[in-house]
Amino acid sequence: MDGRVSLNQVAMRFGDFTAIQPTSLEIESGEFFSFLGPSGCGKTTLLNLISGFLTPSEGSVAIGGTDMTRVPVNRRPTAMIFQNLALFPLMSVYQNIEFGLEVRGIDRRERRRRADELLELVALVGSGDKPVVELSGGQKQRIAIARALAVEPRVLLLDEPLSALDLKLRQHMRTELKAIQRKTGITFIYITHDQGEALTMSDRVAVMSEGRIQQVADPMTLYRQPATDFVANFVGETNCFPGCVTVVAGEMVTLEAGLALPLIGRSSSPLKPGDEATLYVRPEQWQVGGINETHLPLLGVVRSEHFEGAWLTLEIALDQGPTVRAHVPHAGAGVGLDDQLAVGDVCRLDHSPHQAIVLPGAKVEASREEAVDVAATA
Amino acid sequence: MWQQLRNRFGLPLTMAIVSLLGIWLIAMVLLPQWQMVDYSFHPSLLPAERGGVKDVWSLTNYATFFNNDIHLAIFFKTIWSSVLVTGLTLIVSYPLAYYLAKVATPGQAALCLLLLIIPFWINEILRTFAWYIIFAFRGPLNELLFALGLIDRPIRFLSGDLGVLVGMVYAYILFMVFPLYNAIESLDANQIRAARDLGAGWGRTHRRIVIPHAKPGIATGCIMTFMLAAGSYAVPALLGSPGSRWFTQIIYNWFFEGGDWNQGAAYAFLLLVLCIVFVTVIMRVFKVGLGDIAK
């Protein structure tokens, strides 16, 4: 069963509005692939192009190596799980699951046998005769999955199907979706604006913005080595330092960002001294401590402290610089360096240059709060 | 209900509204109907004989109907033709309502609705008369068919039932389109998409998804169209021939040609009973309640 999906220079326009810029992409058979992006980035349009609800203005979609341009939606080897699930409310659970089989002219006994199998897969054995309107949110979710799997699609398309569920159920369904994908070996294409969903379930993620794919990578790479400014900001939290390159030594780039010290980070783009660039540090990459150390660190004043359960979030106003966010282990964990830190304290900040990413361009305007005279406070 | 109205409008206004409604219901609906029923069970008498010995309850007026083969035939023909009109109107209206509700852009839908409504600004009799002209022996339709080479001599459209059927479908189409449109419009577009995505062709998508959802609208449209068709007078009078008489024409004749109001009242009451039976049957067939139809 070949569930490869290829987009060949696919573009979509609605009048003057370009929803999808020309895009090429290969999704492997049996892959759990996510499109991640804010609303309006074109990810749903892309899903509709694959399912056949829309015809691309340019380019073509192929599934399993077969061009789909002339294949109508009801003949494509795809099945969709809709955001609102779109279960048929006037039908029972069995009738819903068997709908696609009935369409294919499969006889009643075989339909029922397969429906029972699917109910077992989604752990809802025995509820086949219930009207779907009587099911709970999570149960409806499972029936939608069973209904889509009943037609034995090569590609399952999921349009933010978990967004209506509460947090606990959503997390549970993530695990379950991933398990079902593993068990069936079907290509899953998942649309979401929730990075948690995309990062936890996917083999690969395509981050989209304004009709363009910004980066395609596995979740770890996406987080550690964002390719563009948009990805760095959209996936996970980050602190940006726009500035000017002063020294380039192999991968390591030194950046003058208007702080007391120059910052050093890693870059995979060809930068040279004098270029504008931005350095990104994730909140958990900071090492925060007291100022009784020997080398010269960045200094800042702790502005606020938020207890987040597993960690503390500190907002630290840098000396003559922006306010940054840092995640630090709290005192209870025993390894905290912030034991003595309280709001108003001066602290030092360090980051590992190998973890910080430098990307070309300095579009991001960091919100500079008024410079804090660290020396005076000390 | 009373409490809700009172909280909203205050006591004096509530009393005014309720009593106006009461007066309207009693004076305009219940009393005239009762008068009709009462008439139908009394013989037609001269003014001087009313209240006298001859003024007794009797079933003579109904017996007249059941003993008159021609009137019985026309009665059943009216039922059958009205059912036919209802069916034809449904067939014509369903694609139109689906297009308006699910396919057309808002602009196209607005234009289309306007085009449908504008003719209804003209009186029903004039609209029917327009069809009379179109269908005339030397009228534009015959001319057109002749010019296209489809016929070699004019057809007498107005001598059979065809004129009446077409005229009625046209006259009552809005009463079918709007309930259908409302019903289909409320269907989640993803339901249609889901059915298509699961492999259903258009026929099955309509049969299994759209039509079951639109059932209350279909029932409402059918009930309204049937009652209007069965009670229609202008269309059969203008577009019909002596061979295609409607039951309403017989009622009209009893009242205004025969001058026998009592006999006419009996016939009118029979038509009312027929309509009530039809509504009940349709509601049973479509498994909808009065509440669904009122929506």
- A→B contacts (Cβ < 8 Å), by residue, are 51, 53, 73-75, 78-80, 82-84, 86-88, 90, 99-100, 103-104, 147-148, 151
Sequence ranges of the domains in chain A: 5-229, 237-377
Evaluate whether residue B111 is within a structural domain. yes
HSE, side-chain direction, 13 A CA sphere, residue A360: 9
Domain count, chain B: 1
Distance CA B180, CA B184 (A): 6
CB pairs below 8 Å between A and B: how many? 55
* Nearest Cβ partner for B199 among A74, A82, A90: A74
Burial code (b: 16+ CB inside 10 Å, e: under 16) for B134-157 equals bbbeebeebeeeeeeeeeeeebeb
State the ipTM, two decimals: 0.79
**Alpha carbon distance, N-terminus to C-terminus of chain B:** 19
Q: Measure B1 CA to nearest chain A CA, in Å.
A: 30
Q: Residue B43 has which token pair?
A: 């013989």
Residue A293 φ then ψ, to 5°: -95, 170
Q: Measure A219 CA to nearest chain B CA, in Å.
A: 30
Evaluate whether residue B47 is within a structural domain. no
Please count the other Cβ atoms lying within 10 Å of the Cβ belonging to residue A263: 19
Which chain B residues contact residue A68 at CB under 8 A? none
The predicted pLDDT at position A307 comes to: 83
Domain housing B132: 59-294
* Nearest Cβ partner for B200 among A78, A80, A103: A103
* Long-range contacts of B128-136, Cβ-Cβ distance < 8 Å, separation of 24 or more: B128/B167, B128/B171, B128/B234, B128/B235, B128/B238, B128/B239, B129/B238, B131/B163, B131/B166, B131/B167, B131/B170, B131/B238, B131/B239, B132/B158, B132/B163, B132/B238, B132/B239, B135/B163, B135/B166, B135/B239
The predicted pLDDT at position A373 comes to: 37
The predicted pLDDT at position A138 comes to: 87
Q: Mutating which of A75, A82, A84 best tests the B interface, going by the most B Cβ atoms within 10 A?
A: A82
The answer for residues whose C-beta is within 8 angstroms of residue A1's C-beta and 6 or more apart is A29, A64, A154, A185, A186
The domain A237-377 having CATH identifier 2.40.50.140: the answer here is yes
The predicted pLDDT at position B294 comes to: 64
Which chain B residues contact residue A84 at CB under 8 A? 188, 190
E strands, chain A, are 5-14, 17-27, 32-36, 58-63, 66-67, 78-81, 155-159, 187-192, 204-209, 212-217, 239-249, 252-256, 263-266, 276-281, 286-289, 298-307, 312-318, 323-328, 346-351, 357-360
The answer for residues whose C-beta is within 8 angstroms of residue B218's C-beta and 6 or more apart is B90, B179, B180, B183, B211, B286
CATH architecture of A5-229: 3-Layer(aba) Sandwich (3.40)
For A188, A274, B82, B253, the CA distances from B282, given in Å and listed in that order, are 47, 82, 14, 30
* Nearest Cβ partner for B197 among A73, A84, A87: A73
Q: Measure B204 CA to nearest chain A CA, in Å.
A: 8
Distance CA A276, CA B206 (A): 60
The predicted pLDDT at position A106 comes to: 92
Distance CA B85, CA B278 (A): 14
Distance CA A12, CA A21 (A): 7
Please judge whether A100 and B198 are an interchain contact, meaning their C-beta atoms are less than 8 angstroms apart: yes
Sheet containing strand A346-351, strands side by side: A286-289, A346-351, A298-307, A312-318, A323-328
Q: At which residue do the structure tokens 């396919």 appear?
A: B103
Which chain B residues contact residue A71 at CB under 8 A? none
Q: Which has the closest alpha carbon to A37: A197, A263, A241?
A: A197
Which chain B residues contact residue A151 at CB under 8 A? 198-199
Evaluate whether residue B17 is within a structural domain. no
CATH of the domain at B263: 1.10.3720.10
CA angle A374/A239/A314 to nearest 5° reads 55
R_g (Cα) of chain A, nearest Å: 25
> Tens-digit pLDDT profile for chain A (378 aa)?
789 999 999 999 998 999 999 999 999 999 999 999 998 899 999 999 999 999 999 999 999 999 999 999 999 999 999 999 999 999 999 999 999 999 999 999 999 999 999 999 888 888 889 999 999 888 999 999 999 999 999 999 999 988 878 888 888 889 989 999 999 999 999 999 998 899 999 999 999 999 999 999 999 999 999 999 899 989 988 999 998 999 888 889 998 888 878 888 998 888 888 889 999 999 888 888 766 555 567 888 888 888 888 888 889 998 777 889 998 887 654 444 545 678 888 888 888 888 888 998 876 543 333 333 333 333
For A216-330, where are the alpha helices, taking DSSP H only?
219-224, 229-234
* Nearest Cβ partner for A151 among B199, B209, B212: B199
Residue numbers in chain B where pLDDT is lower than 70: 293-295
